Amino acid sequence: MSEPIPRAQPPPADRWWRWRRNPLRRRADLVQAWVGLLLASTVAVAAPLVAWTVGFSVHEALTAAARREAGEGRHLEAALVADAPRHPEPGSAEARETRYPAEVRYTAPDGTVRTGTAEVPPGLAAGARTRIWVNGEGHVAEPPMTEDAIRYRAVGWGAAGGGAVAVTGRGAYAATACLLDRRRAAAWDEAWRRASARWTAPP
């Protein structure tokens, strides 16, 4: 006659913290667990907040700079002094997006004729007309950033800020674990030393 199958034992009610009752648990283990929980909670809250704050600040600063540059500068017509470099694949999509530095001659807002280096489409011949951007002092400059460029830059800086918080939290946990590992190793050595002394002691 077969023996009755014993009833399955129900799982502990506190499954996530049952290791706290482990007789092999050391104080350093508990400290490391709580430090990890605290750091994880802090990163979960701080990373999105820092990412949003940094992204918003960068967006506001770049938007203000773009508006200021747009108010001070302007587009002007300029003529190439020499032929612009040719693209190796003329007519391609890459050629339409590529710009090469070339010397141009233009009349500044104050009426003076000046020369400068501007980014122009490839293949333009000397004397060809192109549009350039000059700043408030009449010098050739980069045009103000577009809204899309500002948004991409802000998102990038925001992601970097949030990532920095996560990396800092991970580094803090790693440093804590390293310190506790050293203490555990020292305690283990001390326990072995005491046990060895008892085992080798004369009766």
Give pLDDT tens digits for 62-119.
999 999 999 999 999 999 999 998 888 877 888 788 899 999 999 999 999 999 999 9
**Long-range contact list for 172-175, CB < 8 A, 24+ apart?**
172/39, 173/35, 173/36, 173/39
pLDDT band at 133 (very low <50, low <70, confident <90, very high): very high
pLDDT in tens, 20-65: 566 566 777 788 888 889 999 999 999 999 999 999 999 999 999 9
Nearest to 39 by CA among 192, 199, 171, 129: 171
**CB within 8 A of 184, min separation 6: which ones?**
26, 28
pLDDT digits (tens, 9 = 90+) for 153-202: 999 999 999 999 999 999 999 998 889 888 888 777 777 777 777 776 56
Rg (Cα) of the chain, in Å, rounded? 34
